[in-house]
Chain A
Amino acid sequence: MNESAPDSARFEAPDDFDAINRLYRERRWSDGLPVVPPTVERVERMLRHTRRSREEVVARVAPAFGAATVERIAINAVLAGCDPEALPVLIAATEAVVEPQFNLQGIQATTNPVAVWVIVNGPAAQKQGVNATFNCLGQGAWANATIGRALRLVLQNIGGALPGEMDRATQGQPGKFTFCCAENEAANPWEPLHVERGYARGASTVTVVGAEGTMNMNTHTKDAGELLRAFAETMMHPPSNDYCHGGEPWLALGPEHAEILQRAGLSKAEVKRHLWEGSKMPARRMTGKDLLRVQDSRGAELGKIGPDTLLPVSHRPEDIHFIVAGGPGTHSTYIPSFGNTRAVTREITA
Protein backbone atom coordinates (compact mmCIF):
# COMPACT_ATOMS: atom_id res chain seq x y z
CA MET A 1 0.00 0.00 0.00
CA ASN A 2 1.55 3.32 -1.03
CA GLU A 3 -0.73 5.42 1.06
CA SER A 4 0.62 7.39 4.00
CA ALA A 5 -1.15 8.60 7.11
CA PRO A 6 -0.42 11.35 9.63
CA ASP A 7 1.84 10.73 12.60
CA SER A 8 0.30 9.03 15.59
CA ALA A 9 -0.98 11.32 18.32
CA ARG A 10 1.45 12.13 21.12
CA PHE A 11 0.26 12.48 24.69
CA GLU A 12 2.10 14.13 27.54
CA ALA A 13 1.83 11.79 30.49
CA PRO A 14 3.61 11.64 33.82
CA ASP A 15 6.63 9.38 33.82
CA ASP A 16 4.82 6.95 36.00
CA PHE A 17 3.90 3.37 35.15
CA ASP A 18 0.67 3.43 37.16
CA ALA A 19 -0.54 6.75 35.72
CA ILE A 20 0.12 5.66 32.15
CA ASN A 21 -1.65 2.38 32.71
CA ARG A 22 -4.59 4.22 34.26
CA LEU A 23 -4.83 6.30 31.08
CA TYR A 24 -4.72 3.18 28.88
CA ARG A 25 -7.30 1.48 31.04
CA GLU A 26 -9.69 4.46 30.91
CA ARG A 27 -9.37 4.77 27.14
CA ARG A 28 -9.63 1.01 26.54
CA TRP A 29 -6.32 0.94 24.70
CA SER A 30 -5.22 -2.29 26.36
CA ASP A 31 -6.35 -5.91 26.33
CA GLY A 32 -6.95 -5.85 30.09
CA LEU A 33 -3.35 -6.48 31.07
CA PRO A 34 -0.87 -3.75 32.03
CA VAL A 35 1.03 -2.29 29.10
CA VAL A 36 4.58 -1.12 28.55
CA PRO A 37 4.41 2.68 28.18
CA PRO A 38 5.06 3.48 24.50
CA THR A 39 7.47 6.33 25.05
CA VAL A 40 9.01 8.06 22.05
CA GLU A 41 12.33 6.38 22.86
CA ARG A 42 10.86 2.88 22.94
CA VAL A 43 8.94 3.40 19.70
CA GLU A 44 12.05 4.78 17.99
CA ARG A 45 14.04 1.74 19.14
CA MET A 46 11.39 -0.51 17.60
CA LEU A 47 11.36 1.46 14.34
CA ARG A 48 15.09 0.90 13.87
CA HIS A 49 14.27 -2.71 12.94
CA THR A 50 12.48 -1.90 9.71
CA ARG A 51 13.56 -0.16 6.54
CA ARG A 52 10.03 1.05 5.93
CA SER A 53 9.01 4.63 6.58
CA ARG A 54 7.06 5.21 9.76
CA GLU A 55 4.19 6.85 7.85
CA GLU A 56 3.72 3.98 5.41
CA VAL A 57 0.26 2.47 5.66
CA VAL A 58 0.80 -1.27 5.85
CA ALA A 59 -2.92 -2.02 5.85
CA ARG A 60 -6.39 -0.73 6.60
CA VAL A 61 -7.65 -2.91 9.41
CA ALA A 62 -11.34 -3.89 9.55
CA PRO A 63 -13.87 -3.26 10.93
CA ALA A 64 -12.97 0.41 11.60
CA PHE A 65 -10.50 0.40 8.70
CA GLY A 66 -7.95 2.28 10.76
CA ALA A 67 -4.64 2.96 9.06
CA ALA A 68 -2.02 0.54 10.33
CA THR A 69 1.06 2.63 9.72
CA VAL A 70 4.46 1.21 10.52
CA GLU A 71 4.62 3.58 13.48
CA ARG A 72 1.23 2.54 14.87
CA ILE A 73 2.19 -1.12 14.60
CA ALA A 74 5.41 -0.29 16.44
CA ILE A 75 3.48 1.47 19.20
CA ASN A 76 1.28 -1.57 19.72
CA ALA A 77 4.36 -3.79 19.70
CA VAL A 78 5.86 -1.68 22.50
CA LEU A 79 2.59 -1.81 24.45
CA ALA A 80 2.64 -5.61 24.24
CA GLY A 81 6.24 -5.83 25.45
CA CYS A 82 7.76 -7.05 22.17
CA ASP A 83 11.47 -7.09 21.56
CA PRO A 84 12.25 -4.44 18.93
CA GLU A 85 13.44 -7.17 16.53
CA ALA A 86 9.86 -8.48 16.37
CA LEU A 87 8.55 -5.50 14.40
CA PRO A 88 8.98 -7.10 10.95
CA VAL A 89 7.04 -10.17 12.14
CA LEU A 90 4.16 -7.95 13.17
CA ILE A 91 4.23 -5.97 9.96
CA ALA A 92 4.01 -9.21 7.97
CA ALA A 93 1.21 -10.50 10.21
CA THR A 94 -0.71 -7.26 9.73
CA GLU A 95 -0.32 -7.55 5.97
CA ALA A 96 -1.52 -11.16 6.16
CA VAL A 97 -4.69 -10.58 8.18
CA VAL A 98 -6.04 -8.01 5.73
CA GLU A 99 -5.83 -10.32 2.71
CA PRO A 100 -9.45 -10.80 1.54
CA GLN A 101 -9.43 -14.60 1.89
CA PHE A 102 -8.69 -14.25 5.61
CA ASN A 103 -12.04 -12.44 6.05
CA LEU A 104 -10.87 -10.11 8.80
CA GLN A 105 -14.15 -8.20 8.76
CA GLY A 106 -16.00 -11.39 9.70
CA ILE A 107 -13.36 -12.50 12.18
CA GLN A 108 -13.26 -9.17 14.00
CA ALA A 109 -17.00 -8.51 14.23
CA THR A 110 -18.46 -12.01 14.66
CA THR A 111 -20.13 -13.50 17.73
CA ASN A 112 -17.80 -16.52 17.20
CA PRO A 113 -14.80 -16.82 19.60
CA VAL A 114 -12.30 -16.91 16.70
CA ALA A 115 -8.76 -15.78 17.52
CA VAL A 116 -5.84 -15.18 15.18
CA TRP A 117 -3.23 -17.90 15.52
CA VAL A 118 0.20 -16.74 14.36
CA ILE A 119 2.64 -19.40 13.14
CA VAL A 120 6.26 -18.40 12.51
CA ASN A 121 8.45 -20.44 10.17
CA GLY A 122 12.01 -20.21 8.95
CA PRO A 123 15.13 -18.69 10.51
CA ALA A 124 13.19 -15.80 12.08
CA ALA A 125 11.53 -18.21 14.48
CA GLN A 126 14.80 -19.14 16.14
CA LYS A 127 16.25 -15.67 15.84
CA GLN A 128 13.24 -14.15 17.61
CA GLY A 129 13.06 -16.96 20.14
CA VAL A 130 9.58 -18.12 19.14
CA ASN A 131 9.01 -21.35 21.02
CA ALA A 132 8.19 -24.41 18.90
CA THR A 133 8.79 -27.10 21.50
CA PHE A 134 7.61 -27.70 25.09
CA ASN A 135 4.41 -25.79 25.88
CA CYS A 136 4.63 -23.82 22.63
CA LEU A 137 0.93 -22.94 22.79
CA GLY A 138 1.22 -22.08 26.47
CA GLN A 139 2.98 -19.54 28.60
CA GLY A 140 6.67 -18.96 29.19
CA ALA A 141 8.24 -17.74 25.95
CA TRP A 142 8.53 -13.99 25.62
CA ALA A 143 8.22 -13.92 21.82
CA ASN A 144 5.13 -16.17 21.71
CA ALA A 145 3.41 -14.14 24.40
CA THR A 146 4.24 -10.68 23.11
CA ILE A 147 3.96 -11.16 19.34
CA GLY A 148 0.49 -12.71 19.65
CA ARG A 149 -0.51 -10.02 22.11
CA ALA A 150 0.78 -7.23 19.87
CA LEU A 151 -1.25 -8.47 16.93
CA ARG A 152 -4.34 -8.53 19.14
CA LEU A 153 -3.65 -4.90 20.12
CA VAL A 154 -3.26 -3.95 16.45
CA LEU A 155 -6.63 -5.59 15.74
CA GLN A 156 -8.25 -3.85 18.68
CA ASN A 157 -6.61 -0.43 18.73
CA ILE A 158 -6.19 0.11 14.98
CA GLY A 159 -8.96 -2.19 13.73
CA GLY A 160 -11.41 -0.87 16.32
CA ALA A 161 -12.60 -4.30 17.48
CA LEU A 162 -13.38 -3.48 21.10
CA PRO A 163 -15.28 -6.19 22.98
CA GLY A 164 -18.98 -5.40 23.20
CA GLU A 165 -18.64 -2.72 20.57
CA MET A 166 -17.37 -3.82 17.18
CA ASP A 167 -16.02 -7.13 18.54
CA ARG A 168 -19.30 -8.95 19.08
CA ALA A 169 -17.86 -12.22 20.43
CA THR A 170 -20.41 -13.94 22.64
CA GLN A 171 -17.72 -15.43 24.90
CA GLY A 172 -14.40 -15.14 23.11
CA GLN A 173 -11.53 -17.43 24.12
CA PRO A 174 -8.17 -17.18 25.94
CA GLY A 175 -6.38 -17.25 22.55
CA LYS A 176 -7.62 -13.73 21.96
CA PHE A 177 -4.98 -12.51 24.44
CA THR A 178 -2.19 -14.19 22.52
CA PHE A 179 -1.91 -17.20 20.20
CA CYS A 180 1.51 -17.57 18.62
CA CYS A 181 4.06 -20.34 18.14
CA ALA A 182 6.67 -21.53 15.70
CA GLU A 183 6.67 -24.79 13.83
CA ASN A 184 9.07 -27.39 15.22
CA GLU A 185 10.82 -27.77 11.88
CA ALA A 186 13.65 -29.87 13.34
CA ALA A 187 11.13 -32.51 14.43
CA ASN A 188 9.01 -32.30 11.29
CA PRO A 189 9.55 -35.39 9.12
CA TRP A 190 7.95 -33.66 6.12
CA GLU A 191 8.52 -30.25 4.54
CA PRO A 192 7.73 -27.36 6.88
CA LEU A 193 4.58 -25.29 6.46
CA HIS A 194 6.17 -22.38 4.62
CA VAL A 195 7.82 -24.70 2.07
CA GLU A 196 4.49 -26.47 1.52
CA ARG A 197 2.98 -23.04 0.89
CA GLY A 198 5.52 -22.12 -1.77
CA TYR A 199 8.34 -20.34 0.09
CA ALA A 200 12.01 -21.20 0.06
CA ARG A 201 13.25 -23.23 3.03
CA GLY A 202 15.52 -20.36 4.05
CA ALA A 203 12.71 -17.80 3.96
CA SER A 204 11.02 -16.63 7.14
CA THR A 205 7.25 -16.42 7.12
CA VAL A 206 4.29 -15.71 9.27
CA THR A 207 1.02 -17.60 8.74
CA VAL A 208 -2.23 -16.35 10.24
CA VAL A 209 -5.12 -18.72 10.97
CA GLY A 210 -8.66 -17.86 12.06
CA ALA A 211 -8.76 -20.37 14.92
CA GLU A 212 -11.85 -21.25 16.95
CA GLY A 213 -9.92 -22.82 19.79
CA THR A 214 -7.79 -25.79 20.78
CA MET A 215 -8.79 -29.38 21.58
CA ASN A 216 -6.10 -31.66 22.96
CA MET A 217 -5.79 -35.18 21.55
CA ASN A 218 -3.90 -37.50 23.89
CA THR A 219 -3.41 -40.99 22.49
CA HIS A 220 -0.70 -43.51 23.24
CA THR A 221 -1.26 -45.60 20.11
CA LYS A 222 1.72 -46.35 17.93
CA ASP A 223 -0.46 -47.41 15.02
CA ALA A 224 -0.88 -44.85 12.24
CA GLY A 225 -4.36 -46.05 11.28
CA GLU A 226 -5.62 -45.81 14.86
CA LEU A 227 -3.99 -42.43 15.28
CA LEU A 228 -5.68 -41.04 12.18
CA ARG A 229 -9.01 -42.46 13.32
CA ALA A 230 -8.64 -40.78 16.72
CA PHE A 231 -7.83 -37.45 15.06
CA ALA A 232 -10.66 -37.73 12.52
CA GLU A 233 -13.21 -38.58 15.19
CA THR A 234 -12.10 -35.57 17.23
CA MET A 235 -12.67 -33.37 14.19
CA MET A 236 -16.31 -34.51 13.96
CA HIS A 237 -18.05 -31.77 15.84
CA PRO A 238 -21.68 -30.99 14.99
CA PRO A 239 -21.89 -27.31 16.10
CA SER A 240 -18.89 -26.47 13.94
CA ASN A 241 -18.39 -23.67 11.46
CA ASP A 242 -16.09 -25.94 9.46
CA TYR A 243 -18.86 -28.47 8.80
CA CYS A 244 -21.43 -25.74 8.31
CA HIS A 245 -19.50 -23.82 5.67
CA GLY A 246 -16.75 -26.16 4.48
CA GLY A 247 -13.82 -24.72 6.37
CA GLU A 248 -10.10 -25.05 6.82
CA PRO A 249 -9.36 -26.97 10.02
CA TRP A 250 -5.84 -27.26 11.43
CA LEU A 251 -3.90 -29.68 13.57
CA ALA A 252 -0.71 -29.14 15.51
CA LEU A 253 0.85 -32.60 15.51
CA GLY A 254 3.14 -33.45 18.38
CA PRO A 255 6.50 -34.73 17.06
CA GLU A 256 5.85 -38.28 18.35
CA HIS A 257 2.54 -38.49 16.51
CA ALA A 258 4.12 -37.02 13.37
CA GLU A 259 6.83 -39.67 13.49
CA ILE A 260 4.26 -42.49 13.71
CA LEU A 261 2.56 -41.20 10.56
CA GLN A 262 5.81 -40.67 8.71
CA ARG A 263 7.13 -44.16 9.66
CA ALA A 264 3.96 -45.61 8.16
CA GLY A 265 5.10 -44.07 4.89
CA LEU A 266 2.39 -41.42 4.73
CA SER A 267 3.00 -38.14 2.92
CA LYS A 268 1.38 -34.91 4.09
CA ALA A 269 -1.18 -35.20 1.28
CA GLU A 270 -2.02 -38.76 2.31
CA VAL A 271 -2.48 -37.75 5.95
CA LYS A 272 -4.87 -35.01 4.81
CA ARG A 273 -6.80 -37.43 2.59
CA HIS A 274 -7.21 -39.92 5.46
CA LEU A 275 -8.37 -37.19 7.83
CA TRP A 276 -10.81 -35.81 5.27
CA GLU A 277 -12.34 -39.21 4.56
CA GLY A 278 -12.36 -40.29 8.19
CA SER A 279 -13.95 -37.12 9.50
CA LYS A 280 -17.00 -37.16 7.22
CA MET A 281 -19.92 -36.66 9.57
CA PRO A 282 -23.54 -37.75 9.09
CA ALA A 283 -25.55 -34.55 8.74
CA ARG A 284 -28.11 -35.94 11.19
CA ARG A 285 -25.68 -35.24 14.02
CA MET A 286 -26.41 -31.54 13.56
CA THR A 287 -29.46 -29.89 15.09
CA GLY A 288 -32.42 -29.27 12.81
CA LYS A 289 -31.67 -25.54 12.59
CA ASP A 290 -28.02 -26.18 11.81
CA LEU A 291 -28.95 -28.69 9.14
CA LEU A 292 -30.95 -25.89 7.49
CA ARG A 293 -27.88 -23.64 7.71
CA VAL A 294 -25.61 -26.23 6.13
CA GLN A 295 -28.17 -26.79 3.36
CA ASP A 296 -28.06 -23.04 2.62
CA SER A 297 -24.30 -22.82 2.91
CA ARG A 298 -23.13 -25.98 1.13
CA GLY A 299 -25.98 -26.89 -1.22
CA ALA A 300 -24.07 -25.69 -4.28
CA GLU A 301 -21.03 -27.73 -3.27
CA LEU A 302 -22.68 -30.97 -2.12
CA GLY A 303 -26.07 -31.00 -3.85
CA LYS A 304 -29.10 -32.16 -1.88
CA ILE A 305 -28.16 -32.47 1.80
CA GLY A 306 -30.30 -34.72 3.98
CA PRO A 307 -29.80 -36.35 7.40
CA ASP A 308 -27.87 -39.24 5.81
CA THR A 309 -25.46 -37.04 3.85
CA LEU A 310 -21.85 -37.46 4.93
CA LEU A 311 -20.51 -33.93 5.36
CA PRO A 312 -16.80 -33.38 4.74
CA VAL A 313 -15.17 -30.92 7.12
CA SER A 314 -13.70 -28.94 4.20
CA HIS A 315 -14.30 -28.65 0.48
CA ARG A 316 -11.14 -30.61 -0.36
CA PRO A 317 -8.66 -32.77 1.55
CA GLU A 318 -5.93 -30.20 0.90
CA ASP A 319 -7.93 -27.63 2.89
CA ILE A 320 -6.97 -29.52 6.04
CA HIS A 321 -3.65 -28.19 7.33
CA PHE A 322 -1.17 -29.19 9.97
CA ILE A 323 2.12 -28.20 11.47
CA VAL A 324 4.43 -30.16 13.73
CA ALA A 325 4.81 -28.45 17.09
CA GLY A 326 5.60 -29.17 20.69
CA GLY A 327 8.02 -31.31 22.64
CA PRO A 328 8.05 -34.99 23.63
CA GLY A 329 4.73 -36.53 24.62
CA THR A 330 1.68 -38.18 23.14
CA HIS A 331 -0.34 -35.04 22.52
CA SER A 332 -1.54 -33.27 19.40
CA THR A 333 -4.02 -30.44 19.10
CA TYR A 334 -7.07 -30.01 16.89
CA ILE A 335 -7.66 -26.39 15.95
CA PRO A 336 -10.98 -25.90 14.19
CA SER A 337 -11.32 -22.78 12.08
CA PHE A 338 -13.85 -19.96 11.84
CA GLY A 339 -15.06 -21.69 8.66
CA ASN A 340 -15.37 -18.66 6.41
CA THR A 341 -11.66 -17.94 6.44
CA ARG A 342 -8.51 -19.14 4.74
CA ALA A 343 -5.06 -18.91 6.28
CA VAL A 344 -2.60 -16.48 4.76
CA THR A 345 1.21 -16.68 4.73
CA ARG A 346 3.50 -13.67 4.22
CA GLU A 347 7.25 -13.47 4.09
CA ILE A 348 8.93 -11.56 6.91
CA THR A 349 11.18 -8.87 5.51
CA ALA A 350 12.86 -5.91 7.13
Chain B
Amino acid sequence: MTICSTAFVTLGRAQASALGRPDLPIAVIAHPFGLRTREEVRGIAEQCVDDIARLVAGNKP
Protein backbone atom coordinates (compact mmCIF):
# COMPACT_ATOMS: atom_id res chain seq x y z
CA MET B 1 0.00 0.00 0.00
CA THR B 2 0.96 3.64 -0.21
CA ILE B 3 -0.13 6.96 1.23
CA CYS B 4 -0.98 9.87 -1.01
CA SER B 5 -2.41 13.38 -0.60
CA THR B 6 -5.58 14.30 -2.49
CA ALA B 7 -3.64 16.40 -5.03
CA PHE B 8 -1.60 13.39 -6.08
CA VAL B 9 -4.21 10.63 -6.16
CA THR B 10 -4.63 10.85 -9.94
CA LEU B 11 -0.89 10.47 -10.41
CA GLY B 12 -0.71 7.67 -7.84
CA ARG B 13 -3.48 5.64 -9.45
CA ALA B 14 -2.14 6.15 -12.97
CA GLN B 15 1.36 5.26 -11.86
CA ALA B 16 0.14 2.11 -10.09
CA SER B 17 -1.69 1.01 -13.25
CA ALA B 18 1.34 1.79 -15.42
CA LEU B 19 3.47 -0.40 -13.19
CA GLY B 20 0.99 -3.28 -13.36
CA ARG B 21 -0.63 -2.80 -9.93
CA PRO B 22 -3.98 -1.15 -10.67
CA ASP B 23 -5.43 -2.42 -7.39
CA LEU B 24 -2.67 -0.93 -5.24
CA PRO B 25 -4.35 0.24 -2.01
CA ILE B 26 -3.84 3.97 -1.49
CA ALA B 27 -4.65 5.76 1.76
CA VAL B 28 -5.62 9.33 0.94
CA ILE B 29 -4.97 12.36 3.13
CA ALA B 30 -6.09 15.95 2.62
CA HIS B 31 -3.88 18.32 0.63
CA PRO B 32 -2.12 20.68 1.24
CA PHE B 33 -0.23 20.23 4.45
CA GLY B 34 2.83 22.36 3.70
CA LEU B 35 1.30 25.29 5.60
CA ARG B 36 0.09 23.26 8.57
CA THR B 37 1.78 23.11 11.94
CA ARG B 38 3.49 19.96 13.12
CA GLU B 39 0.55 19.37 15.48
CA GLU B 40 -1.99 19.68 12.67
CA VAL B 41 0.02 17.25 10.53
CA ARG B 42 0.07 14.84 13.46
CA GLY B 43 -3.73 15.16 13.66
CA ILE B 44 -4.07 14.33 9.94
CA ALA B 45 -1.81 11.32 10.41
CA GLU B 46 -3.87 10.07 13.32
CA GLN B 47 -7.06 10.37 11.28
CA CYS B 48 -5.42 8.33 8.53
CA VAL B 49 -4.17 5.55 10.76
CA ASP B 50 -7.41 3.56 10.63
CA ASP B 51 -7.46 3.70 6.82
CA ILE B 52 -3.86 2.55 6.68
CA ALA B 53 -4.52 -0.32 9.08
CA ARG B 54 -7.55 -1.42 7.04
CA LEU B 55 -5.60 -1.29 3.77
CA VAL B 56 -2.66 -3.20 5.22
CA ALA B 57 -5.14 -5.84 6.41
CA GLY B 58 -6.49 -6.06 2.85
CA ASN B 59 -9.87 -4.35 3.31
CA LYS B 60 -10.80 -1.32 1.30
CA PRO B 61 -11.84 1.75 3.34
Contacts and interface: CB of A to CB of B under 8 A. Distances in A.
B44 to A, nearest CB: 17
Interface string A297-314: 000000000000000000
Interface string B12-35: 001100110000000000000010
B2 interface: no
Contacts of A164: 10
A65 B8 contact: no
B14 A168 contact: no
Contacts, number: 26
Contact of A109 (B15, B19, B34): B15
Interface in B27-48: 34
A63 interface: yes
B49 interface: no
Of residues A160, A164, A166, A289, which shows the largest number of chain B Cβ atoms within 10 Å of its Cβ? Answer: A166
B18 A168 contact: no
Of residues B7, B10, B18, which shows the largest number of chain A Cβ atoms within 10 Å of its Cβ? Answer: B18
A164 B7 CA distance: 9
B19 A166 contact: no
Contacts of A65: 18-19
Contacts of B14: 63-64, 160, 165-166
B8 A168 contact: yes
Contacts of A165: 10-11, 14
A63 B15 CA distance: 6
Which secondary structure dominates chain B's binding surface?
A: helix
Interface string A35-72: 00000000000000000000000000001111000000
A276 B48 CA distance: 44
A220 B34 CA distance: 42
Contacts of A63: 11, 14-15, 18
A1 B45 CA distance: 43
Interface residues on B, range: under 10
A65 B16 CA distance: 11
A165 B15 CA distance: 10
A160 B8 contact: no
A26 B7 CA distance: 24
B19 A168 contact: no
Contacts of A166: 10-11, 14-15
A278 to B, nearest CB: 32
Contacts of B8: 168
Interface string A280-293: 00000000010000
A292 B19 CA distance: 33
B37 to A, nearest CB: 12
Contacts of B19: 65
A168 B34 CA distance: 16
A255 B15 CA distance: 44
Contacts of A160: 14, 18
A293 B1 CA distance: 26
Contacts of B15: 63-64, 109, 166
Nearest to A111: B7
A295 to B, nearest CB: 16
Nearest to B18: A64
Nearest to A64: B18
A338 B8 CA distance: 19
Interface of B: 7-8, 10-11, 14-15, 18-19, 34
Given A63-B11, A168-B7, 11 more contacts: A65-B18, A66-B18, A109-B11, A109-B15, A160-B14, A160-B18, A165-B10, A165-B14, A166-B11, A166-B14, A168-B8
